[in-house]
Structure 1
Amino acid sequence: MKTIVCSILFMLTSATACTQDKKDNFSSLSSKSGTINSIPFLTKQNDFMYVDKINLKPVTDQKYKSASLFTSTGFAVVVNEKNEYAVINESGKTILGFSVEEININEVNGLTFYKKNIEYEKKMPAWKWEWNILGSGIKKEQTYHKIEIGVAETKQVLLREDIPYLEDNYDLNFVSVDENHIFWNGSLFKINQGKLHRIENNIAELLENKRFIKASGSAFSINELDEKKAVHGRLNGTERFSIKYGKETIILKDVNKERYEPEVPKLLVNDKTKDVYPFPQYEKVFPKEIVKATPSQIDFIKKTSLVYSITNSPYFLLGVFNYDHDVWAYNWLYIDTEGNITDSIGTCHFKVLDQVGHLIWPDRKMILPDQFINKDWKFGKINSYRGMNDLYLIPIEDGKQLRTKGLWNSNKNSWEIKPEYKDILVLDTEKQIYALQKGQDELYTLFDNKIKKRIGSKAYLSINSDGLVNVKLDSGQNMYYYIDIYSGKEYKE
């Protein structure tokens, strides 16, 4: 039985999984490649104009106070001297006219989605006034957001609402299900001639392989795209179920218990068949019987508090927390769909992330074995993004309480970037482009990890993956403009 030090205790049951050759559930930091040749160029007058990124010749003569990169669909957000927002295409034509409403855009499935948003104070009826008990007055207004979300190409409006500030949870988090379908805001849409047509409602969670979970009150069903009948219906959440071993029935209690009730329970059970489907993909049934196990394995299973379905494999991960405060660890076992227990699963690699993207599995000791560390090292939360494969960002604190980060290769058991940097930013996972900050107050520099060389000669207060950088002028003001993160070329006069 293997003991793994766990960096997250309370968030563990909210993780997602992915096999090494499946990338669906990882945050991607890789840049998109497209045919857009225009880029915002900062002039000496401190305004932006679009130029050809190769020869830097102006594409149009229009100038803006602020300008974004073009999406792969050919749209960008610009801001004029009046702080009004608009959406333009690559030729400079205005698609969404200038207004005081802030505009954001996002491209999915070849369509450009926009969000207009403005904050204002709305007068409330008397029964909604806020009375200050300290006598400083009565608040008769409440902060509201006026929101519009739609499709830029077809001007289709998907949502137009005025809502209280604290209730604003509308984002441009559109997700591609396949080339003809998009998931957004709890609904499934079919694309037809550039417009979205709603075909499913009450979707609580989108799963892999064109599957999704629908909610109906406290009950759930697992459905597939283009299938009218649910694949699995009559499902309810549970934290308790049983598994047989010979003549014994083992009752598992408080499994995947969470501090706050999730929208979709981490275990779904069919009340009729008693089939149990564990998160994150709910794609297979937990075995109802253990085929063969040692006494110590059975004792372990009786204490199981975490059940996790390892996606794209026949296995489930079983966890028991070790309450020894000197260890602060989870112990792990595996069980397959046939009920076979094993201490390890060989070459079946997978990663588990918590809610905020921190790596939980594999653990530090699996990634960076003890023989490769200094005795006085302490570790923070390890990160790994989609496309990084065997590379991991590892934060370290030494005996002098100096905190640094390094990039570790778990396959080679060596540092790709030694832990000598205050911060390491991942800009492109595929091409291994990073931004390095040597000390606490030092600037970021570009680094190509494949050839182990610095890119360019400039340094910046910040560097984004899209090439937007921030520098501080002698006057103390901040200046923003774009660069090419692969060559260091700056787009400014």
Structure 2
Amino acid sequence: MFTSFACTQEKRDNSQLASSKIKTINSVPFLTQQNEFIYVDKTNLKPVNNQKYQSASLFTVTGFAVVMNEKNEYAVIDESGKIVLGFSAEEINLNVVNGLTFYKKDIEYEKKMPVWKWDWNIMGSGIKKEQTYHKIEIGILESKQSLLHEDIPYLEDNYYLNFIAVDENHIFWNGTLYGIKKNGLSKIENNIVELLENKRFIKASNANFSIYGLDQKKAIQSNLTGSETLSIQFGKETIVLKDVNKERYEPEVPKLLIDNKTNDIYPFPQYEKVFPKEITKATASQIDFIKKASLVYSITNSPYFLLGVFNYDHEIWAYDWLYIDIKGNVTDSIGSYDFKVLDQVGNLVWPDRKMILPNQYVDKNWKFGKINYYTGMNDTYLIRIENEKQLRTMGLWNSFQKAWEINPEYYNISVLDTEKQMYALQKDQDGSYILFDNKSKKSIGSKAYQSINSDGFVSIKSGSGQTIYYYIDIYSGKEYKE
């Protein structure tokens, strides 16, 4: 049995950490009758300049946008329309973290290879002398600093704009901790394999791992090694759990780290506390459960660890759970904690369906699919249901109020804004989406769309069957097109 899970907790919006650099953006892309985009003032819809584009993005909170000309070339402009990155065939993406605007330029091309790397087709269809490569450039718009410029084989590697704010003065990216100085980045630490909460990180050296604090030169824990075995004492009996947190592919950081001097074991995801060496309080049935446990996670910001046993009797893929605290006390249930366990495709595993939606609120003919949770949804969860007629629907359930926020009568529900509780609802499988304000329990606007993105980018079918793309305000339904 192989498993792959991730754990998540509430995190700050990276773009908001440097509020002094955040601008009030008044310009939005507007689709004209000539199927061109111009930028207009979003209050009065008057053009802010005379420039036209084949496509255009919203401005970032730092005042930059990606546009495309009639040659399908990309560029970056500022609010005045001035070109910041010139037009080229390379696709451009932007991401704002700590008030800095990071860009990525990416283009695919065929690279001629030396003869020893030719692909010889033994079936006689020819010799492939070229290989698909990516030319990637990543940098900072404000300072024009280049962080990476590489040509890499298409299937071998890639780089992303997944910069993470550690605090207002530090950023983590691509295994490196950076300090922010004059709109640029300077390297502080390399060879970081995992960023942890509370300004901690894990460094690797061969098969050894060390945990550091941001401003600490000396490791908090050092000479840690990975383990899939966990031993715990119960009276005179030693319980040995083998293949704990077993994964199909070896993770970069093992899910259990052991201090070989003290035999202390620090479990995933934050490795912030030691798993108890001894069970001090447990029933016979709880001990039997622990002997079968295959998952051991540390529930962050709590004294508890989570123990999981796969339940092979269930019709759907599921786990049963038990808990043990740092003193070795075992319990069947704990209070509510801001802690989620997700599988590798983002579906919620813990808390499980019975914790979120207890059986007394369930129709006896219902079967359940995957549960989805997104950061900022607090006590609400998207739950898939199949009824006795095998009709599959989705609803939004509030686990605290024990009530449906959105009744389970929709084929799909898309999350647009968790804080303001904006959703896109699709009634039927091939139907259109409507905007829905869950706070006011009202539909927004009068239009339905083929698709609605969280940034307000929508699509509709024209009378001729052509798909048209443009922007709307998801909070009012206002459309930015003629």
TM-score tier, shorter chain, comes to over 0.9
Number of the residue aligned with 2:6: 15
RMSD after superposition:
1.9
Q: Secondary structure at the match of 1:380?
A: strand
What are the equivalent positions in structure 2 for 1:362-401 lying under 5 Å apart?
362-401=351-390
Amino acid in the other structure paired with 1:382: I
Alignment of 1:302-341 (within 5 A): 302-324=291-313, 329-341=318-330
The residue number in structure 2 matching 1:164 is 153
1:289 to 278, 285, 296: 278
What's 1:5 paired with?
none
Taking structure 2 as the reference length, what is the TM-score of the superposition? 0.95
Please name the residue that 2:420 is paired with: 431
Q: Is the 8 A contact 2:7 2:339 kept in 1?
A: no
Q: Which residue of 1 aligns with 2:119?
A: 130
How far off its partner does 1:294 sit?
A: 2.2
**Match of residue 39 from structure 1:** 28
The aligned residue for residue 419 of structure 1 is: 408
Deviates more, 1:460-469 or 1:34-43: 34-43
Contact 1:24 1:208 in 2 (8 A): no
The higher-RCO structure (CA 8 Å, 6+ apart) is: 1
Deviation string 1:41-76 (CA, Å, 9 cap, x unpaired) is 111111111111111111111111110011111110
Alignment of 1:55-94 (within 5 A): 55-94=44-83
2:445 — aligned with what? 456
Maintained 8 Å contact 2:64/2:76: yes
Partner of 1:24: 11
Distance (Å, rounded) in 2 between the aligned partners of 1:193 and 1:325:
57
Query: How far did 1:364 drift?
Result: 1.1
Q: 1:250, 1:26 → 2: CA distance?
A: 43
Partners in 1 of 2:68 and 2:399 — Cα distance? 45
Provide the secondary structure at the position in 1 that maps to 2:245. Answer: coil
Task: Write the distance in 2 (CA, Å) between the matches of 1:43 and 1:428.
Answer: 27
Report deviation, 1:327: 8.0
Stretches of structure 1 that go unaligned for 5 or more consecutive residues are 1-8
SS at structure 2 position matched to 1:381: strand
Which residue, 183, 194, 202 being the options, matches 2:172? Answer: 183
Residues 1:394 and 1:27: Cα distance change in structure 2 (over 3 Å): farther
- Quick one: which amino acid aligns to residue 147 of structure 1? I
Aligned-residue offset at 1:213: 0.9
- Larger CA deviation: 262-271 vs 238-247: 238-247
Verify: 1:276 aligned to 2:265, yes or no.
Answer: yes
Distance 1:95 1:189 in 2: 24
Q: Corresponding residue for 1:151?
A: 140
- Conservation of the 8 A alpha-carbon contact between 2:120 and 2:127: yes
Given the two structures, how large is their TM-score scaled by the length of structure 1?
0.93
SS of corresponding position for 2:354: helix
Give yes or no for contact 2:14–2:98 (8 Å, CA) kept in 1: no
1:445 maps to what in 2?
Answer: 434
Q: Call closer, same or farther: CA 1:328–1:96 in 2, change over 3 Å.
A: closer
Distance 1:127 1:454, change over 3 A: same
- The 3 A distance-change label for structure 1 pair 34 and 450 is farther
Q: Is contact 2:14-2:96 (8 Å) kept?
A: no
Matched, 1:206 2:195: yes
Q: Partner of 1:371: helix, strand, or coil?
A: helix
1:350 partnered with 2:375: no
Distance 1:255 1:286, change over 3 A: same
Match of 1:3 in 2: none
Paired with 2:393 and 2:275, the residues of 1 have a C-alpha distance of 42
SS in 2 for 1:91: coil
SS at match of 1:169: coil
**Counterpart residue type for residue 16 of structure 1:** C
Residue 6 (structure 1) aligns with = none
Task: Tell me the equivalent position of 1:50.
Answer: 39
Partners of 1:302 and 1:374 lie apart in 2 by: 34
Q: Is the 8 A contact 2:14 2:165 kept in 1?
A: no
- Percent of matched pairs sharing the same residue: 74
Q: Residue 39 of structure 1 aligns to which amino acid in structure 2?
A: V
Instruction: Quote the residue 2:99 is aligned against.
Output: 110
Deviation at 1:334, TM superposition (A): 1.0
Distance in structure 2 (CA, Å) of the matches to 1:226 and 1:27? 21
Which of residues 454, 473, 477 in structure 2 aligns to 1:484?
Answer: 473
Q: Which residue of 2 aligns with 1:236?
A: 225
Structure 2 Cα separation of the partners of residues 326 and 421 of structure 1 = 24
1:353-405 Cα offsets, whole Å, 9 max, x none, are 22222111111112122222222221111011112111111111122221111
1:25 is displaced (CA, Å) by 9.2
* 8 A Cα contact 1:114 1:149, kept in partner: yes
